[in-house]
Amino acid sequence: MWLLQATLSKDSTQQAGKIDARRRRYILFFVSYITSSVMFFYGFKNFYAEQVLLPAILFGTAAAFLINISYFRWSGNLNLACNIEALLVGCFVLSLVYQGGFNNTALYWVFPFPAILFGLLGVKKALFSNGLLLIVLALMLFVPELIMAEYKEAEASRFIASLLIVIIVCWINDHYRERSHEAMELLQQSKEIQANTDPLTLLLNRRFIDSSLNFSLQQQADALLPMAVIICDIDHFKQLNDQYGHAAGDAVLRHLASLFRNNLRQQDIACRIGGEEFLFFLPKTPVDAALQVAEKIRHALLDNPLQLEQLALPVSASFGVASCINSDSLAAAIEHADKQLYQAKNSGRNRVC
**What is the widest separation between alpha-carbon atoms in the chain?**
102
Nearest 5 degrees, angle CA 291-CA 294-CA 295?
Answer: 85
Question: What is the distance between the alpha carbons of residues 114 and 61, in angstroms, rounded to a whole number?
Answer: 17
pLDDT tens digits along 252-279: 999 999 999 889 888 888 889 888 999 9
Residues in the chain: 353
Q: What is the DSSP string of 7-41?
A: HHHHHHHHHHHHHHHHHHHHHHHIIIIIIHHHHHH
Domain residue ranges in the chain: 2-188, 204-346
CA distances from 122 to 68, 165, 309 (A): 19, 18, 59
Q: What is the mean pLDDT of residues 119-144?
A: 90
pLDDT at 13: 54
Q: What's the confidence (pLDDT) of residue 183?
A: 58
Rounded Cα distance, 145 and 122, in Å: 34
Distance CA 214, CA 193 (A): 16
Exposed e or buried b for every residue in 253-269, given b needs 16+ CB within 10 A? bebbbebbeebbeeebb
H/E segment holding residue 280: strand 277-282
Higher pLDDT, 208 or 336: 336
Active site residue 277: no
CATH of domain 204-346: 3.30.70.270
Percent of the chain with pLDDT strictly greater than 90: 38
Higher pLDDT, 14 or 151: 151
Note whether 263 and 293 are within 8 A (CB): yes
Give me the catalytic one of 276, 277, 295, 335: 276
Please, are residues 28 and 78 in contact by the beta-carbon 8 Å criterion? yes
- Three-class SS of residue 324? strand
Q: How confident is the model at residue 230 (pLDDT cuts 50, 70, 90)?
A: very high
Average pLDDT, the chain: 85
For residue 185, the model assigns a pLDDT of 59
Lowest mean pLDDT among 16-25, 158-167, 221-230, 297-306: 16-25
Distance between CA atoms of residues 346 and 153, nearest Å: 95
Q: Which residue has the higher pLDDT, 63 or 311?
A: 63
From first CA to last CA, the distance across the chain in angstroms is 26
Flag whether the pTM goes above 0.85.
Answer: no
Q: In whole angstroms, give the CA distance from residue 301 to residue 281.
A: 19
Q: What is the pLDDT of residue 299?
A: 93
Is residue 226 reached through a cis peptide bond, with omega within 30 degrees of 0 on the bond before it?
yes
pLDDT of residue 350: 93
Query: What integer pLDDT is reported at residue 189 of this predicted model?
Result: 53
- What is the pLDDT at residue 5? 47
**Position with higher pLDDT, 134 vs 16:** 134
Nearest 5°: the CA angle 191, 257, 325 is: 80
What's residue 175's pLDDT? 80
pLDDT in tens, 163-217: 999 999 989 888 877 776 665 555 455 546 656 788 888 888 888 877 777 777 7
pLDDT for the residue 8: 43
Dihedral sign computed on CA atoms, order 205, 210, 215, 216: positive
Q: Which residue has the higher pLDDT, 196 or 82?
A: 82
State mean pLDDT over 31-56: 84
